[in-house]
Amino acid sequence: MTDSSTSCPADEIILAHVEGGLSPEQQALTEAHLRACGPCRKRVEEAENLTRVSKLLSQSKLNQRDVERIDRCVQSTLDEVRRTTTKPRD
Amino acid sequence: MKSGPETSPTFLDHLRDPSNEAAWRRFVELYCPIVYRLAKRKGLDRDAAEIVVQEFCVRMVRYLQEFQYDRERGRFRGWIRKVATHEIFRYWRKQSAGKPKSTVSIDGDNDIVPDEGEDNWWEGSEIARLLQLALDDVKGQVSTRDYEVFRKLVLDSQTVDAVSLEFGITPNHIYGIKFRLLRMIREQAHRLREEWYDR
């Protein structure tokens, strides 16, 4: 574990801090570091942004049955595009 | 409709060429899931949603080869959404003799005015889809274990402790993998966005 009171915490600590995954002691050390370190506060903003990316990915996940149907549509469209390519032009 | 970024004219040129399978694959992989989810959001079941997506794709193949981009008449992305909405209403009309009625015209003379909520939904769906495509791209650039850790954590919503136990790695390591992959996905999504849209 990085000593957050003296040196900048690693990326995983910053993300764990944002997601509430640190122990109370780790959290206190990280917060103390962040109060004194502007660049790390910027890193927290980035981690918050990444957490939003994570939520979007999680919320927009389709179930397997839907994925199979969509894959069929993708495949049949690509087949249609190929047929268009090989069709002789008038 | 919101004025977000517009589709790159270069990408539209690629789509006008049916032999450009890579561009077409990108296009259908981006929009098929969005149209499918829109159809379900509008109350269609899975079978109906699949039919709508197929009809949407057939129209796209037909229209895009002759599509002339005209900035004055509206955005290409807005037009795609209009075609998708039109297909959903067309399906309803066929199935239930006209309920509910659509005022949609894909020629742009009789446009519907989408509500703000739907604007946000469509924009959000495009962003989410770009992220999913970016994840597919990133999958090949990381180890199988790291991808599986990420999948279970983010896509299957498992807890850090559960994933940590399953893979025998520390929670810090799990957060490290998550941070690294999310950053890669976000950067790849930016690249895809630049490929697709004008900056």
B69-110 pLDDT, tens digit each: 666 555 778 888 889 999 999 998 888 755 554 444 444 433
Q: What is the mean pLDDT of chain A?
A: 88
Q: What is the pLDDT of residue B49?
A: 94
Cβ of A54 within 8 Å of Cβ of B160? The answer is: no
Which B residues, 156 through 195, put their C-beta within 8 Å of a C-beta on chain A?
157, 160, 171-176, 178-180, 182-183, 185-186, 189
Torsion sign across C-alpha atoms B87, B92, B94, B99 = negative
Please list, in sequence order, all residues whose beta carbon lies within 8 angstroms of the beta carbon of residue B104, skipping any fewer than 6 positions away: B82, B85, B86, B89, B110, B111, B112
Q: Which residue of B has its CA nearest to A77?
A: B57
**With 0-12 CB in 10 A as exposed, 13-18 as middle and 19+ as buried, what is A2?**
middle
Which residues 115-144 of B have a C-beta within 8 angstroms of A?
Answer: 124-125, 127-129, 131-132, 135
Which of B32, B61, B176 has its CB closest to that of A84?
B61
Average pLDDT over residues A62-86: 88
pLDDT tens digits for B122-158?
889 999 999 999 999 999 999 999 999 999 999 999 9
Encoded tokens for B141: 């650039």
pLDDT band at residue B16 under the 50/70/90 scheme: confident
Tell me which of A22, A77, A82 to substitute to probe the interface with B (most B C-beta atoms closer than 10 Å).
A77
Q: What is the mean pLDDT of residues A43-50?
A: 97
Q: Please determine, for residue B173, whether its predicted confidence score (pLDDT) is greater than 70.
A: yes
User: Any idea what DSSP says for residue A60?
Assistant: T
Helix, strand, coil percentages (3-state) for chain B, rounded to 5, are 70, 0, 30
Per-residue pLDDT tens over the stretch B86-95: 999 999 888 8
Q: What is the pLDDT of residues B22-70, one digit of tens each?
A: 888 888 999 999 999 999 999 999 999 999 999 999 888 888 877 766 6
* B54, B127, B128 ranked by CB distance to A73: nearest: B54
pTM score: 0.81
DSSP B54-107: HHHHHHHHHHHTT----TTT--HHHHHHHHHHHHHHHHHHHHHTS-S-----TT
Query: Quick check: A17 and A44 in contact, CB under 8 A?
Result: yes
Positive/negative CA dihedral, A76, A79, A85, A87: negative
Core vs surface per residue A56-66: b (16+ CB within 10 A) or e: bbeebbeeeeb
Give the pLDDT confidence of A6-40 residue by residue, as tens digits. 699 999 999 999 999 999 999 999 999 999 999 99
Predicted-assembly ipTM surpassing the 0.90 threshold? no
